[in-house]
Structure 1
């Protein structure tokens, strides 16, 4: 499954011939940018855009025009004409246009672009970015044109030499967020033929998003079957049933096998203590980690490391 950071997203855009991200957009500014799919399609020759599930590490707000379909968590939303879509790094989504007249403008930004210090909010605490909500909103024609003007202002402001332009752009982004939270979510479909595969795909994506562990200060955020079910807005029993059907294993077994795989890597490739590795993998006590590893690997962590 593809891992796509914001920097890698920019690299993919540049491969299509689009200009490189402006030099002044630094990590301190939160890596903000605005794009138009018409421009990108002209560069790539792709008439029917598709954005597959991948590990996006950035936030994205899209203003959509034309018939299309969005899949978010276990939900499917058919978009007939106009919609506003919010994407968070927490939950992957799939988005496909259904006709050649489709168009979208969208902005992308890193988690540091909107902070409590400059807006009074934390993005992940806002309802619009909370797991379980439906972040796709159908718009009237007048609402669409108003928001289209807002995106145009952001693009124009970004190209200006105004010293405080990113402060102004943050205000535009927050207006988009507030408007989204005031709209009613789009209607949701649950096609039976694909729901099981989709939930499985999203579970695997969220599981892989926890790894690799690259620092002994890093810690996985999702540890139990319930953690994953809550993130995907499905009942834990339903998630367990779906994974059993598609993988032959329970949710706990899949999680346990992946954590054991990462534990093996860390034990062999780092000099971290067993306690530090256990902490990174979500265990409060080293004894709990040792028991877990021995159960799954039939050997103790220290014995495995010394083999």
Structure 2
């Protein structure tokens, strides 16, 4: 395991004694992945690392969360939604640990347009509080969603992956209805966090794209720095120091997400998809997509469409 990043492969290797509803064999191969389980084996300490996956945990039991250099004591029912790019660790403070968790990778989060709203929300953001302490009504509702996930994951229903995606969306929507996710005001954030938040908002405000005739206007770190009135080197430094990723990587990843969404959910030809994303030359879009995804845009569209037929 990396000293700085825990992968899904690492996660499952450390828990090889636990049975999961879905196979854990292909998690490192760029495929969409989701799993859900109970927390009955969570009475140990986890490493203080960033992760390459998302995890939502309903916690019953006492413990200490170390998150981004801070410490949070959890001594009552709580929901944990850490930002993968912020290092965190969990240490149990009581023998009794219960609840549920689900985890999913970026591919699962990217592959369907219904998740776009959450990318623009405070969920999983470096500046948002990762812990939500739950009142009884909300706890019961979220507990019910997890119970339905467990039941669905162990069922023989042929479309259970889609049903689980919908249950995950319902869970996250329930967190936004009354805005219980703590999103600090500008005065509560450091200058670096404010800049990262503004960059993230500008990036996601560009999506979804509605027409091939209305292409992206900001595609490079310099474009965003200019809009934010900061030097591009400063923006790059702040983004890298907080997220562990380069500004260029984050922008390209979001463009790739949108490319996949458009290829799957529109009838636009591939040159139109590329143009809308800022690639005037179809060959440049083809090369970008293949370098990032390992296959061409046409191969991606055909492979996904064949699964749906």
TM-score, length-normalised on structure 1?
0.54
Paired residues, number? 193
- 2:96 match: 101
Q: CA RMSD in A?
A: 3.4
- 1:8 match: 10
| 1:75-224 superposed matches below 5 A | 75-115=70-110, 117-121=112-116, 124-181=119-176, 182-185=178-181, 224=236
CA contact (8 A) 1:116 1:122 kept: no
Cα shift at 1:124: 4.3
Cα shift at 1:155: 1.2
Cα shift at 1:116: 6.0
| 1:21-36 superposed matches below 5 A | 21-22=22-23, 30-36=32-38
1:50 to 45, 50, 69: 45
- 1:278 match: none
Q: Structure 2 CA distance, aligned partners of 1:163 and 1:50?
A: 37
Question: Quick check: which has more Rg, 1 or 2?
Answer: 1
Give deviations 1:134-171, integer Å, cap 9, x for gaps: 12100012322221121111111111121211111111
CA contact (8 A) 2:86 2:242 kept: no
Give deviations 1:172-201, integer Å, cap 9, x for gaps: 11122222334535799xxxxxxxxxxxxx
Structure 1, gaps ≥5 residues long: 42-47, 189-221, 233-307
Cα shift at 1:111: 0.6
Cα shift at 1:90: 1.5
Q: Structure 1 CA distance, aligned partners of 2:152 and 2:26?
A: 13
Higher RCO (CA < 8 A, seq sep 6+): 1
**Which shifted more, 112-121 or 143-152?**
112-121
| 1:58-69 superposed matches below 5 A | 58-69=53-64
Q: SS state of the match for residue 112, structure 2? A: helix
